[in-house]
Amino acid sequence: MSVYDQIAEAKAASVGEIEKTGDLESLKAIEPMLFGKKSTLGGLKRLMGEVDAQERADVGQALNEAQLFVREAHEAAKKKFELSDRRAQLETERLDLTESLHVANRGHLHLVTQTMERLEDVFVGMGFTVSEGPQAETDWYNFEALNLPAAHPARSMFDTLYLDLGDRTEIGDGEGGEATNILLRTHTSPVQVRVMESTAPPIYTVCPGRVFRRDTADASHMPVFHKIEGLVVDRGISLADLAGTLNEFTAAYFGGAISSRLRPSYFPFTEPSAEFDITCVICEGDGCQTCQRTGWIELGGCGMVHPNVLANCGVDSEEWTGFAFGFGIDRLALMRYGIKDLRDMYTNDVRFLEQF
């Protein structure tokens, strides 16, 4: 048998061994027979010494080629087994992704908080800060400083809840002067007063928060509800600035289709005073039942801060002028989602709260 025949036979034997294997494991088991000094082909290296010097190169090449051939056959078999293993593995891992047992576990902010934050964000975008103050207030901050002395007829506009603090409670004599009653604020205007007392103008701030009225709860009234008020005090602030600011807010909050208008009105703390209407958000101004076919809905009150209020807060009304506005947050939340009854927002039923 020639050297070349021996090499061919060993190559065929090696390939035959590879073909007999069925998986990676058995392939691995025959690797010593395929590669290395003790392998079938490796054993033939000794033939190199038995041939002529001039033939040695040819035999070497034949051996190398045979070894390369076996290596490739092994590599191909290995790839084939790896692929089938992967296929088998993946098949065992097959999932029905609709079998998820997870129940969503994220909470929800109250509708009023969401509305309040949305309003705050619009005003922050317009250059305002957000101011806060106590819910239990003195008569001074809630009424007197706001040009509403005791016995002012407009006080009847606010059904006020007073606190009983024992010896510290003084029932007002209705004649002004030393009214030190503690009450639950009926609006967030006391925060405006506190801001003006403590901060030098210019002031651009909104005061969101909880307010209280002595109102029996019904579909559109709650004794506890939420308001946002705004205050700007700066040099040369005008009624046109109020109109422009409310326009900008209205477009930012409600969208470009909704605009605002001012109508003369009366509040003790502003002069001139106005009602602040917006285009009806239901019919966008065409006229519907919600807006009583006027195309407008009343949103809140506003006006130029009364010089007496500025004076009460230590602001020189010749140098500085300002405007203020205010409206209910709860009602905006109702309007946005078409909620019919205000009381629904305060049952704390999770089936209601989860929807927002």
Residue 92 C-beta: closest distance to other proteins, Å: 32
Does the footprint of other proteins cover residue 237 (CB under 8 A)?
A: yes
Q: C-beta of 119: minimal distance to other proteins in Å?
A: 12
Could you tell me the smallest distance in angstroms from the CB atom of residue 287 to other proteins? 12
Q: Which residue has the tokens 């010593």?
A: 32
Q: Find the binder of other proteins among 13, 124, 200, 257 (CB under 8 A).
A: 124
The reply to whether 102 sits near other proteins by the rule CB under 8 A is no
The Cα 301–Cα 318 span in angstroms is 24
Spatial contact of 159 and 185, defined as CB atoms under 8 Å apart: no
Instruction: Find out whether 206 and 326 touch, Cβ atoms under 8 Å.
Output: no
Q: How far apart are CA 225 and CA 346, in angstroms?
A: 10
Using CB under 8 A as the binding rule, the residues of this chain from 22 to 81 that contact other proteins are none
Give the integer Cα–Cα distance in Å for 278 and 327. 12
> Six-digit token pair at 273?
């005073």
Q: Is 130 in the site for other proteins (CB under 8 A)?
A: yes
Interface characters, 282-321, with other proteins (x: CB under 8 A): ----------------------x-xx-------------x
Query: What does the alpha-carbon distance between residue 129 and residue 138 come to, in Å, rounded to a whole number?
Result: 24
Count Cα atoms within 13 angstroms, Cβ side, for 136.
7
135 binds other proteins, rule: CB under 8 A: yes
180: left (phi over 0), alpha (psi -120 to 50) or beta: alpha
Selected from 126, 252, 258, 288, the binder of other proteins by CB under 8 A is: 126
Closer residue to other proteins in complex, CB, 134/285: 134
Minimum Å distance from CB 335 to other proteins?
18
How big is the site for other proteins, counted in residues (CB under 8 A)? Answer: 85
Q: Which of 4, 35, 253, 346 binds other proteins (CB under 8 A)?
A: 346
Within residues 155-214, the interface with other proteins by CB under 8 A covers: 156, 161-166, 168-169, 174, 180, 182, 184, 202, 204, 210, 214
Q: Select 11 or 306, whichever has its Cβ closest to other proteins.
A: 306
Give the nearer residue to other proteins in terms of CB position, either 81 or 325. 325
| Alpha-carbon gap, residue 13 to 19, rounded angstroms | 10
283-302 exposure pattern, b = at least 16 Cβ within 10 A, e = fewer: eebeeeeebeeeebbebbbb
> 95-124 burial by CB neighbour count: b if 16+ within 10 A, else e?
eeeeeeeeeeeeeeeebbeebbeebbebbe
**19 or 349, CB closer to other proteins?**
349
Smallest separation, CB 147 to other proteins (Å):
11
Q: Which stretch binds other proteins (CB under 8 A): 15-23, 25-33, 84-92, 236-244?
A: 236-244
Nearest distance from residue 340's CB to other proteins, in Å?
18
